[in-house]
Structure 1
Amino acid sequence: MSLTPRWIYAFIVVCCSALLAYALYTQYFDGLHPCPLCITQRAFFVLTALVALIALITNPHQNGRYVSAGLMLVTTIAGGSVAYRQVWLQSLPPDQVPACGPSLEYMFSNLPFGEAFRTLMLGDGNCAEIVWTLFGFSMPNWSLFAFIGLGAAAIVSALPMLKR
């Protein structure tokens, strides 16, 4: 069994699915309510998985592999940027943390879409709270590591030396 782009696409789909499943587990069984940045990161994991799933199904030739890898890189860089922002917010001294904002339901029903989307992308004081750690790293840290690994897998999937 040799490493092929399809195996890498399947790996990316499985990883994203597992990450999303764990996020939903912590939300519904551990009671950890996601902040706006957490929800945004979840959306980028979904987008990454969708691109990988489409590539897995279509099994593109070399140019298609470049396109698939490029799209996955865009989603992983965007998701990693959001995760990095949350890690940065969590590292701020308490007096520099931005104020907590309203709930997402309130924002999207009462604020203009642009302002609600901006808050979703930039986060608020809720995003600076550390409520879960593993080996000393918060969930956004692990999310950032995952986006980096998924981006690296996307790059490897486009290497010309891999057999289709």
Structure 2
Amino acid sequence: MTSDALARTLALATPVALLAGALGSQYIGGLYPCDMCHWQRWPHYAAVPLALLAILLRAQPIGTIMLWLAALAIFASGAIGLFHAGVEYGWWEGLTTCSTTSSGGDFMNDILAAPIISCDQPQWTLFGISLAGFNAIISIGAAMVIAWLTTRKA
């Protein structure tokens, strides 16, 4: 596999895997996301179609632009994750204090029954690293690898 093909594959696989993990932990694992958790997902939602376009248009210059935009979106998610992790570890204050979730059904009962999720308390950690921390590590690392592979001569 060429470095260009590897970069495009990584640009698609990274946000798909991280979104699957986030959505799986929410809907299967019961971990309710806070506001900043949702913020980290938005750039990944954008990176998926950008990466798909980068793959589909790989023979054209616009395909490379789409690849760079996907890498930038992945990096942005990692930067938001780094900010969120800093809030969780008490390095700085966050922009919000809590959020609630709604299933879209009976809105008022959903609001009253939903747990209040604080952005400064990680719901899950592994080796002292929260989900936001893992998103930061994986997303920033993947974006850097995509950039390196894209600038590398085949």
Aligned to 2:4: 5
The separation in 2 between residues aligned to 1:32 and 1:73, in whole angstroms, is 27
Local SS of the residue matching 1:158: helix
Which among 136, 145, 150 is matched to residue 144 of structure 1? 136
Give the % identical residues: 22
Contact 2:54 / 2:67 at 8 angstroms: preserved in 1? Answer: no
Contact 1:12 / 1:153 at 8 angstroms: preserved in 2? Answer: no
Aligned to 2:69: 71
Contact 1:48 / 1:75 at 8 angstroms: preserved in 2? Answer: yes
Aligned to 1:26: 25
Equivalent position amino acid for 1:28 in 2: Y
Equivalent position amino acid for 2:89 in 1: S
**Structure 2 vs 1, CA of residues 73 and 98 (structure 1 numbering), >3 Å: closer, same or farther?**
closer
- TM-score, structure 2 as length reference: 0.75
Q: Could you say what the CA RMSD is over the residues aligned between the two structures, in angstroms?
A: 2.5
Aligned to 2:148: 156
**Structure 2 vs 1, CA of residues 76 and 16 (structure 1 numbering), >3 Å: closer, same or farther?**
closer
Task: Give the C-alpha shift of residue 55 in structure 1.
Answer: 0.4
Q: Deviation per CA, 1:109-136, whole angstroms, max 9, x where unpaired?
A: xxxxxxxxxxxxxxxx711111111222
Aligned to 1:129: 121
Aligned to 2:97: 100
User: Which of 1 and 2 has higher RCO (CA within 8 Å, sep 6+)?
Assistant: 1
Equivalent position amino acid for 1:18 in 2: A
Question: More helix per residue: 1 or 2?
Answer: 1
Task: Give the C-alpha shift of residue 15 in structure 1.
Answer: 2.4
Task: Give the C-alpha shift of residue 21 in structure 1.
Answer: 1.0
Q: Deviation per CA, 1:16-71, whole angstroms, max 9, x where unpaired?
A: 21211111111011110111111111111121222111101111445742x23431
5+ long unaligned stretches in structure 2:
103-116
Task: Give the C-alpha shift of residue 90 in structure 1.
Answer: 0.8
Aligned to 1:91: 89
